[in-house]
Amino acid sequence: GQNIDQPTEMTATEGAIVQINCTYQTSGFNGLFWYQQHAGEAPTFLSYNVLDGLEEKGRFSSFLSRSKGYSYLLLKELQMKDSASYLCAVPSGGYNKLIFGAGTRLAVHP
């Protein structure tokens, strides 16, 4: 089966950098997704990693280590609008079923 762990809450200051960690255990690895979810809104796709290393996309970067079962999402130059929940997810049963972590609620303060 799959098991995903993320911190429940984090706080950070506007303009700073924050790293949100995710550890996972999965019976077969088919990549790892990060989604952003603002309160009362739909989850929206941020990144997908299938190979080890860092992938950068603007202010957001995602890192994966398959041997360690570990990923992180790095948010730079934080803005107030980045206050949201960040969900780590891994596919199960092939590619078409996502198992989500509980999410990390990030609060960005001025």
Partner 1 sequence: EAGVVQSPRYKIIEKKQPVAFWCNPISGHNTLYWYRQNLGQGPELLIRYENEEAVDDSQLPKDRFSAERLKGVDSTLKIQPAELGDSAVYLCASNQGGGETEAFFGQGTRLTVV
By C-alpha distance, which of 83, 59, 69 is closest to 11?
83
Q: Which amino acid is at 16?
A: A
> Rounded to the nearest whole angstrom, what is the least distance from the CB of residue 33 to partner 1 in the complex?
7
Strands of the chain (E only): list them.
3-5, 9-13, 18-25, 32-37, 44-49, 53-57, 60-65, 70-75, 84-91, 98-100, 104-109
Q: Does 99 bind partner 1 (CB under 8 A)?
A: yes
Beta bridge partners of 5: 23
> Considering beta carbons, is residue 69 or 103 the nearer one to partner 1?
103
> Considering beta carbons, is residue 44 or 79 the nearer one to partner 1?
44
Stretch that binds partner 1, among 20-28, 30-38, 51-59, 70-78 (CB under 8 A): 30-38
Determine which residue in the list 66, 70, 83, 100 makes contact with partner 1, applying CB under 8 A: 100
> Considering beta carbons, is residue 16 or 102 the nearer one to partner 1?
102
